[in-house]
């Protein structure tokens, strides 16, 4: 469990860097979680982690920047054009959405009733 958590933190951090610096959007969170067969608990640990919280904060900052933002945001994200910032924001939000979607799909199943015939 700890290996997966540490691994996804590293991957998400690299995905953020790659998106912000090079404009490349390589990481598909849902595909990663499904391929690695993450459990609901592990996914929940990621969703509640500081990495996911930082990702959410970054999305909010980009939202504010796109709406005009204050001087600090313009200074921080001024190197990005509005279309670039929008693409990055959508990509980062998609990472969070994928985690939420996978978490919702991994609900425990119910036992099937067997009829005595």
Query: Tens of pLDDT along 44-78?
Result: 999 999 999 999 999 999 999 999 878 999 899 98
**pLDDT grade for 117, boundaries at 50, 70 and 90:** low
pLDDT band at 110; cut points 50, 70, 90: low
Of 19, 6, 37, 1, nearest in space to 94 by CA: 19
How many Cα atoms are found within 13 Å in the side-chain-facing hemisphere of 44? 7
The residues, any chain, with a CB within 8 Å of residue 52's CB and separated by 6 or more, are 12, 46, 96, 99
Q: Report the pLDDT value the prediction gives residue 69, as an integer from 0 to 100.
A: 78
């Amino acid at each position: 469990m700890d290996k997966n958590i540490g691994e996804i933190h590293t991957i998400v951090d690299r995905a953020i860097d790659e998106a912000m610096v090079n404009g490349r959007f390589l990481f598909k969170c849902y595909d990663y979680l499904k391929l690695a067969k993450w459990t609901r608990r592990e996914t929940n640990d990621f969703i509640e982690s500081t990495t996911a919280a930082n990702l959410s904060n970054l999305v909010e900052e980009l939202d504010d920047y796109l709406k005009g933002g204050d001087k600090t945001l313009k200074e921080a994200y001024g190197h990005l054009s509005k279309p670039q910032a929008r693409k990055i924001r959508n990509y980062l939000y998609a990472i969070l959405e994928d985690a939420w979607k996978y978490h919702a799909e991994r609900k425990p199943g119910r036992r099937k009733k067997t009829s005595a015939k």
